[in-house]
A and B are shown apart, each in its own frame.
Chain A
Amino acid sequence: MSKSEAKPKILASIFMPLISLKRRGPSGWMVIFGLIIVLGLVIMTLIGPWITPYDPSKSLVGPIREPPTLQHPFGTNHLGQDILSRILVGGSIMLQVAALSVLICLLIGVPVGLFSSYVGGAFDRIVSLIIDAVYAFPGLVIAIAIAAMLGPGVINMSLSIAVVYIPSYFRIVRSHVLSIKELTYVEAARAIGAKWYTILTRYIFPNVISSIVVVVTINFADAILTAAGLTFIGLGVTYDIPDWGWDLTNGRNYLATGAWWMITFPGIMIVLLALGFTLMGEGLSEMLNPKLQR
């Protein structure tokens, strides 16, 4: 009996956040739509290998460069591969790269920003100078340079993208900590004998999380586009692994012959994924900004 009672509770705990998002008005809806798009694409990529009509890597499953037909709804490419099948599984590299690069950014940018800003003084000056030097480069150029140095591969791509975005994490965290560390509750924490890392982790960090969440979602969108860009110029993964960015690159070569379907569908997928994250990011930033609330 207790089990049947527990069930609605579990369901409620899953759906309640969504319902409360709806109450937040337009920004809540932005987050909901963003979430739906992103989750949809993630699920699609996860179950993709089992639902593809054809083997996505196998050539000549149909005629070469065939426009969309009933057999091949999204057409085929120059190797005779089924584009729909490639779309269904092609997001995995991009999502992996985006997730991994965001993780690296979080693990480096946030702690360094917290510590440097809290300590202040000469240490903070030096770290800021180094990070600002990285920030001064155009992002894509530095990503290309590092990716070219490291060679292709998921981890290398993630690293090169992470280098581009660590400065934005650092700067956001640093500027927030600069203002928070002057607030009375931090001084009050010191006055009750709290250790420096307790102050940093329990008093300052939780108050920065909301802004980090926003950077993460926006960074996700950017990372996807950068990953696509890297693949586009041949610094991504090797072409036996289906990937939207790779398909986009190939499609461009055949656009002149009128094969619009080769470039359109992968392109739409990349834009959709980036859009999903951007919606989430913008919506969250509006929701979490207390000044815009009521």
Chain B
Amino acid sequence: MPLLEVNSLVVEYRTSRGKITAVEDVSFSLEKGETLGLAGESGSGKSTLGLSIMRLVPYPGTIAGGQIKIDGVDILKLREQEMRAIRGRKVAYVFQDPMTSLNPVKRIGDHFVEFICTHEPTVKKGQAFNRAKDILKNLGISPERIGDYPHQFSGGMRQRIMIGLAIALNPDLVIADEPTTALDVIVQAKILDLLETLRRIYGMALILISHDLSIILERCKKIIVLYAGQMVEYANSEELHENPMHPYTQGLLRSIPNIELSDQQLSAIPGSPPNMLNPPPGCRFWPRCQFAEKKCSSEAPPLVDVGNQHFVRCFFHVSEGTNNE
């Protein structure tokens, strides 16, 4: 039984100007200890998908359909109280902005103590404190700083503390929502290494959400590329790197700078993501797609299995090599 199973999930935002389908018919599964990357532009539904696994989609968003199973239990059917027991204990979330993710009036140690004691009422405060110290040590932060307030730490340290909080109760799954976007490149690598190390030590599964496909290619085994709320491609990272089939994925890969090819032309994908209140008919990517034909603007392409556990939502699903000929 997979750790996480998402079946044809639909998440909608009902705004005064109309309904926005932020996540449309997304299905995937994740085994214990596996890594999954969610890639896509801003507004493609990455964070909404991540938050819906916690059942924390912010108002006015609602999960309109589908199933999310954690250890075989459909969490959409759970009561709020049962859901609270899952949040933090089974599934933990690392937010994008470390500067505002910690309560400014609470000491670092108290963050850990409260978190641990909420989920394990039998643990005494002193024990929780000692556990917090051990975690800080693992994070590379001096345990003496346990009494400091969040503003006394740098951004990178705060993000490490957030990760420490996420793993404090040894969850089965950690969802890291752009954990390094607010940090500079050197700290970025350190944070990702830390996540990787901790993931190995504790044997957690990881969902890494990022707009940076290169990070995801490097760190994740499976990759989902989202475009305008839809899964456009789903494959293993080697497969996706060697043989990207959707024009959008191809465009994303071409826009990654490569230091080995000095004369390589970096290309951006023309146009901008569609207005989700009024998405284009047919394939959502066709207005920006260089291969678009008449069919693309009228018929919505299905998600096709092209073998080798590779799925793509395109009528032409041809590899880049043959297309460029």
Name A residues whose Cβ lies closer than 8 Å to a Cβ of B: 183-185, 187-195, 198, 202-203, 206-207
- Evaluate contact between A188 and B105: CB separation under 8 angstroms: no
Q: Which residues of A contact B114 (CB under 8 A)?
A: 194, 198, 202
The answer to whether the Cβ of B88 comes within 8 Å of any Cβ in the partner chain is yes
- Evaluate contact between A188 and B95: CB separation under 8 angstroms: yes
13 contacts between A and B (CB under 8 A): A184-B96, A184-B97, A185-B101, A187-B58, A188-B93, A188-B101, A188-B162, A189-B103, A191-B87, A191-B88, A193-B86, A193-B88, A207-B103
User: Which has the most chain B C-beta neighbours within 10 Å: A188, A191, A192, A195?
Assistant: A192
The answer to whether the Cβ of B54 comes within 8 Å of any Cβ in the partner chain is yes
Known A-B contacts A192-B165, A202-B114; A187 and B87 likewise in contact (beta carbons under 8 Å): no
Known A-B contacts A191-B88, A192-B87, A193-B118; A184 and B103 likewise in contact (beta carbons under 8 Å): no
Known A-B contacts A184-B100, A188-B101, A207-B104; A194 and B118 likewise in contact (beta carbons under 8 Å): yes
- Evaluate contact between B54 and A191: CB separation under 8 angstroms: yes
- Evaluate contact between A192 and B103: CB separation under 8 angstroms: no
Dominant SS at the B interface? loop
User: Which has the most chain A C-beta neighbours within 10 Å: B87, B92, B103, B118?
Assistant: B103
In the complex, what's the smallest C-beta–C-beta distance from A172 to chain B, in angstroms?
Answer: 17
If A190-B87, A193-B86 are given as contacts, then 19 extra A-B residue pairs at C-beta distance below 8 Å, sorted by A number, are: A184-B95, A184-B96, A185-B102, A187-B56, A188-B101, A188-B102, A188-B165, A190-B56, A191-B54, A191-B87, A191-B88, A192-B165, A193-B87, A193-B118, A194-B84, A198-B118, A202-B103, A203-B106, A206-B103
Tally B residues with Cβ within 8 Å of A.
27
Tell me how many residue pairs across A and B have CB atoms closer than 8 Å. 62
- Evaluate contact between A191 and B92: CB separation under 8 angstroms: yes
| Chain B residue, CB-CB nearest to A195 | B84
| Alpha-carbon separation in the docked complex, A174 to B42 (Å) | 31
- Evaluate contact between B89 and A193: CB separation under 8 angstroms: yes
| Alpha-carbon separation in the docked complex, A2 to B181 (Å) | 54
Among A185, A191, A192, which residue has its beta carbon within 8 angstroms of that of B118?
A192
- Evaluate contact between B97 and A192: CB separation under 8 angstroms: no
User: Which has the most chain A C-beta neighbours within 10 Å: B86, B92, B101?
Assistant: B101
- Evaluate contact between A185 and B56: CB separation under 8 angstroms: no
Name B residues whose Cβ lies closer than 8 Å to a Cβ of A: 54, 56, 58, 84-89, 92-93, 95-97, 100-106, 114-115, 118-119, 162, 165
| Chain A residue, CB-CB nearest to B87 | A193
- Evaluate contact between A206 and B105: CB separation under 8 angstroms: yes
| Chain B residue, CB-CB nearest to A183 | B100
| Alpha-carbon separation in the docked complex, A194 to B89 (Å) | 11
* 5 tightest A-B CB contacts, nearest first: A192-B88, A193-B87, A191-B93, A193-B88, A193-B84
| Alpha-carbon separation in the docked complex, A195 to B117 (Å) | 13
- Evaluate contact between A192 and B115: CB separation under 8 angstroms: yes
Q: Which residues of B contact A192 (CB under 8 A)?
A: 87-88, 92, 115, 118, 165
- Evaluate contact between A193 and B119: CB separation under 8 angstroms: yes
| Alpha-carbon separation in the docked complex, A190 to B58 (Å) | 11
| Alpha-carbon separation in the docked complex, A185 to B202 (Å) | 25
- Evaluate contact between A187 and B103: CB separation under 8 angstroms: no
In the complex, what's the smallest C-beta–C-beta distance from B183 to chain A, in angstroms?
Answer: 15
Among B101, B105, B106, B115, which residue has its beta carbon within 8 angstroms of that of A184?
B101
| Alpha-carbon separation in the docked complex, A190 to B80 (Å) | 11
| Chain A residue, CB-CB nearest to B100 | A184
In the complex, what's the smallest C-beta–C-beta distance from B114 to chain A, in angstroms?
Answer: 7
| Chain A residue, CB-CB nearest to B88 | A192
- Evaluate contact between B118 and A187: CB separation under 8 angstroms: no
Q: Which residues of B contact A207 (CB under 8 A)?
A: 103-105
| Alpha-carbon separation in the docked complex, A202 to B114 (Å) | 10
| Chain B residue, CB-CB nearest to A191 | B93
| Alpha-carbon separation in the docked complex, A194 to B84 (Å) | 7
| Alpha-carbon separation in the docked complex, A190 to B59 (Å) | 14
In the complex, what's the smallest C-beta–C-beta distance from A192 to chain B, in angstroms?
Answer: 4
Q: Which residues of A contact B103 (CB under 8 A)?
A: 185, 189, 202-203, 206-207
In the complex, what's the smallest C-beta–C-beta distance from A195 to chain B, in angstroms?
Answer: 7
Q: Which residues of A contact B87 (CB under 8 A)?
A: 190-193
| Chain A residue, CB-CB nearest to B97 | A184
Among A187, A195, A198, which residue has its beta carbon within 8 angstroms of that of B95?
A187
| Alpha-carbon separation in the docked complex, A271 to B118 (Å) | 50
| Chain A residue, CB-CB nearest to B95 | A184
Q: Which residues of B contact A202 (CB under 8 A)?
A: 103, 106, 114
| Alpha-carbon separation in the docked complex, A114 to B51 (Å) | 25
| Alpha-carbon separation in the docked complex, A115 to B52 (Å) | 26
| Chain B residue, CB-CB nearest to A204 | B103
| Alpha-carbon separation in the docked complex, A183 to B96 (Å) | 12
Q: Which residues of A contact B105 (CB under 8 A)?
A: 206-207
